[in-house]
Amino acid sequence: MPTIRIPNPLRPYVNGQAEVAVSGTTVGEAMNDLMRQFPAFRPHLYKPDGTLRSFVNLFLEGRNIRDLQGMDTPLTPDSILNLVPSIAGG
């Protein structure tokens, strides 16, 4: 099963887990499974229209999925997605 790595600030939404095993053959399917497992997480990652918020980045093998095939990017059973929210500051 693919895995999604969750950064520290977002772990409270996934019961404190650093990694969550998900099912799916694409990034979109994997994210849908993550939302199925943790529905309270959805508003933190998705806009009301169902699109991923602009500050949420997903990386597969070090590459942003936006530079690949987006949510249609294929996954293998051993894929690891890194969820990386943009952090503003100054």
What's the whole-model pTM score?
0.91
Torsion angles phi and psi, residue 64, rounded to 5: -65, 130
| Residue 85: band (very low, low, confident or very high) from pLDDT cuts 50, 70, 90 | confident
Residue among 65, 75, 4 at smallest CA distance from 38: 4
Q: Give the model confidence (pLDDT) of 50-75 as tens digits.
A: 999 989 999 999 999 999 999 999 99
pLDDT of residue 65: 95
Can you list the domains of the chain with their CATH numbers? Answer: 3-85 (3.10.20.30)
| Owner of token pair 């500050």 | 55
Q: Are 24 and 2 in contact (CB under 8 A)?
A: yes
